[in-house]
Amino acid sequence: MPDEPVALQLTHDLTTGRAQSVADEVNNVVFNLADLRVSYGSYQAIRQVSLTIAKNEITAFIGPSGCGKSTLLRSFNRMNDLIPGARVEGLLAYHGIDIYGPDVDPIEVRRRIGMVFQKPNVFPKSIYDNVAYGPRVNHIKANMDDLVEECLTKAALWDEVKDDLKKSAYALSGGQQQRLVIARCIAVRPEVILMDEPCASLDPIATAKIEDLMRQLALEYTIIIVTHNMQQAARVSDRTAFFTAELDEDGIRHGRLVEYGPTRQIFSAPQDKRTEDYISGRFG
């Protein structure tokens, strides 16, 4: 395990050397990944991922089912720790600190790196208590009423629910629930929001609202989104990483990063044949 100075050194190398070749320029690096591998037991779900994620940008992970993009996303806030047998190797540095380092508390990681899930997972509580839950468990000292209003406003939900704050969150529609989950997530003041197919269970109108919201949130937060919807990646993201599932020489299926770059470039002039095929709908 590298101690802190080593990790910082690695960051430096990646930003000056390798990152330059991956993308035109990545300023304000939030995450550095170097040869990251995630495995479940003896099965390696995703291999050899090296990329950098920039502050206040939206980075999209796209690729066919089973390419390991959700697995990779769950590594960013150590949610994979909760799956028995899951193991993360390689470097995943957050502001130069390896988040799998020996002194790192996963609870602290998850406070700074929030997550929005595929299915809106509101708590069986009131709308107010859903938003207030994170600050309460983290002992954040704040005027809770103001904080709830602020977060619901940022999540573009305040006007719809301000008179029903005591109502059960289950009374909301799917799209509203997902915005409530986003409000709940930003209530603990994270720097990064991970989104795992946040619109997969929503209709097009609710999806459009979430996409608008993401662009708003990107002014303040760094967002990584996993999506199956290529148009969505093209519409909202600044940078896109394309993953695919491949067979290795032993015939074992695993996920791999194929191409990473500015979204415009990935969708208009992909460098790799596999990316081009996927984008143009020839496979996946």
Partner 1 sequence: MSTPTAASAASHGAPSLRGSRQPLSDRVFRWALFISLTVGVVTLAVLIAYVTIKGWPRLNSTLWTNMPSIRRPERAGAQSAITGTLWVIGFTALFALPTGILAALHLEEFAKPNSRFQRLVEVNIQNLAAVPSIVYGILGLAFFARALALGQSVITASLTLSLLILPIVIISTREALRAVPRNIRDGSLALGATEWQTAYRQTLPAAIPGIATGVILALSRAIGEAAPLLLLGAVTFITFNPTGPLSGYTTLPIQIFNWTKDSREEFQILASATIVLLLVLLLAMNLAAILIRNRTQKRW
**Under the rule (CB under 8 A), what is the footprint of partner 1?**
77, 79, 82, 84, 107-108, 110-111, 114-115, 117, 119, 121-124, 133-134, 137-138, 170, 181, 184-185, 188
Q: What is the rounded distance in angstroms from the CA atom of residue 58 to the CA atom of residue 192? A: 10
CB of 175 to partner 1, least distance (A): 17
CB of 29 to partner 1, least distance (A): 23
Q: Are 118 and 194 in contact (CB under 8 A)?
A: no
Can you say how many angstroms the Cα of residue 87 is from the centroid of all Cα atoms in its chain?
Answer: 19
Closer CB to partner 1, 127 or 185, in the complex: 185
Closer CB to partner 1, 119 or 235, in the complex: 119
CB of 124 to partner 1, least distance (A): 5
Closer CB to partner 1, 171 or 269, in the complex: 171
Closer CB to partner 1, 2 or 85, in the complex: 85
CB of 41 to partner 1, least distance (A): 12
- 3-state DSSP of 65-134: CCCCHHHHHHHHCCHHHHCCCEEEEEEEEECCEECCCCCCCHHHHHHHEEEECCCCCCCCCEHHHHHHHH
Report phi then psi at 84, rounded to 5.
-60, 135
Closer CB to partner 1, 140 or 208, in the complex: 140
- HSE-CB at 156 with a 13 A cutoff on CA atoms is 15
CB of 161 to partner 1, least distance (A): 18
Element (H, E) at 145: helix 144-154
